[in-house]
Amino acid sequence: MTSAFFIQLRRELGAIYNSPMAYVIFFFFTFIAGSIFYNNLQFLEMGARISVMQMFFLGVWFWMCLLIMIPLLTMRLFSEEYKTGTIELLLTAPVSDWDIVLSKFFSAFLFYLTLWAPTVVYLLVFQWVTGGEIPVKIPNTLLCYLLVVLVGAFFVSVGLFASSLTRNQALAAFTTFALLLGLFFLGLLGLNMEESKFTAFMEYISCYQHMRNYLEGIFDSRPVIFYLSGTLLFLALTQRLMAVKKLKS
Amino acid sequence: MIKVTGLHKKYSGLEAVAGISFEVDQGEIVGFLGPNGAGKSSTMRMLTGYLPPSAGEIQIAGLDVLNHSLEVRKKVGYMAENVPLYTDMYVGQFLRYRAALKGVKSKDIKQRVDDSLEKCGLADMRMKMIGNLSRGYRQRVGLADALVHDPDLLILDEPTAGLDPNQIRSVRDLIKELGEKHTILLSTHILPEVEMVCDRAIIINRGRIEASDTLENLSRKVQSGSLNIEIKASAQNATEKLKQLDVLSSVRLKSDKDGWVMLECLSKPGSDPREAVDNLIKTQNWPLREFHHNQARLEDVFVELTQE
> Is the pTM for the entire model greater than 0.90?
no
> How far, CA to CA in Å, does B183 sit from each of A220, B31, B176, B259?
61, 11, 11, 56
Instruction: For an interface test with A, give the residue of B60, B78, B81, B86 to mutate (most A CBs within 10 A).
Output: B86
Low-confidence ranges of chain A (pLDDT < 50): none
Kindly list the residues from chain A whose CB atom is less than 8 angstroms away from the CB atom of residue B70: 94-96
Low-confidence ranges of chain B (pLDDT < 50): none
Residue B308 confidence (pLDDT): 60
Please tell me the number of Cα atoms within 13 Å of B81 on its side-chain side: 15
- The string of DSSP codes covering A230-241 is HHHHHHHHHHHH
Cβ separation of B80 and A88 shorter than 8 Å?
yes
Rounded Cα–Cα distance for residues A136 and A51 (Å): 10
Is residue B103 within 8 angstroms of chain A, CB to CB?
A: yes
Radius of gyration of chain B (CA): 24
Distance from CA of A191 to the nearest CA of B (A): 47
CB neighbourhood size of A50 (10 A):
12
Rounded Cα–Cα distance for residues A26 and A39 (Å): 20
Please tell me the number of Cα atoms within 13 Å of B228 on its side-chain side: 8
> How far, CA to CA in Å, does A93 sit from each of A4, A8, A118, B70, B100?
10, 11, 37, 8, 10
Is residue B173 within 8 angstroms of chain A, CB to CB?
A: no
Exposure string over A151-184, b if 16+ CB within 10 A, otherwise e: bbbbbbbbbbbbbbbbbebeebbebbbebbeebb
> How far is the first Cα of chain A from the last one, in angstroms, to the nearest whole number?
28
Q: Which of A19, A86, A95 sits opposite B101 (nearest CB)?
A: A95
Kindly list the residues from chain A whose CB atom is less than 8 angstroms away from the CB atom of residue B87: 84
The pair phi, psi for residue B205, each rounded to 5°, is: -145, 135
Residue ranges of E strands in chain B: 2-11, 14-24, 29-33, 55-60, 63-64, 76-79, 153-157, 183-188, 200-205, 208-214, 226-232, 248-257, 260-267, 288-294
Residue B296 confidence (pLDDT): 64
Closest to A232 measured CA to CA, from A105, A111, A115, A110: A105
Residue A214 confidence (pLDDT): 86
Residue ranges of E strands in B26-86: 29-33, 55-60, 63-64, 76-79
CB neighbourhood size of B150 (10 A):
15
Rounded Cα–Cα distance for residues B121 and B171 (Å): 10
CB neighbourhood size of B165 (10 A):
8
Is residue A2 within 8 angstroms of chain B, CB to CB?
A: no
> How far, CA to CA in Å, does A224 sit from each of A69, A77, A179, A189, A228?
22, 25, 20, 21, 6
- The string of DSSP codes covering A61-80 is HHHHHHHHHHHHHHTHHHHH
Is residue B49 within 8 angstroms of chain A, CB to CB?
A: yes
Rounded Cα–Cα distance for residues B260 and B198 (Å): 42
Provide the Cα torsion A87, A93, A99, A105; round to 10°: -30
User: Beta strand B288-294 with B260-267: parallel, antiparallel or unpaired?
Assistant: unpaired
Is residue B71 within 8 angstroms of chain A, CB to CB?
A: yes
- The string of DSSP codes covering A172-188 is HHHHHHHHHHHHHHHHH
Q: Which of B49, B52, B103 sits opposite A247 (nearest CB)?
A: B52
In the beta sheet, which residues pair with residue B299?
none
Judged by DSSP in three states, B297 sits in: coil
A 12-41 residues with CB < 8 A to B: 14-15, 18-19
Exposure string over B4-16, b if 16+ CB within 10 A, otherwise e: beebbbeeeeeeb
Cβ separation of B100 and A85 shorter than 8 Å?
no
Looking at this predicted complex, what is its ipTM?
0.86
Contacts 24+ apart (CB under 8 A), B131-135: B131/B87, B131/B88, B133/B91, B135/B162, B135/B163
Q: How many residues does chain B have?
A: 308
Is residue B152 within 8 angstroms of chain A, CB to CB?
A: no
Cβ separation of B51 and A246 shorter than 8 Å?
yes
Q: Which of A15, A84, A93 sits opposite B73 (nearest CB)?
A: A93
Rounded Cα–Cα distance for residues A134 and B156 (Å): 68
Amino acid at B216: E
Chain A residue whose CA is closest to B70: A94
Residue B270 confidence (pLDDT): 67
Rounded Cα–Cα distance for residues A33 and A198 (Å): 33
What angle do the packed helices A221-248 and A197-205 form, to 10 degrees? 70
Is residue A114 within 8 angstroms of chain B, CB to CB?
A: no
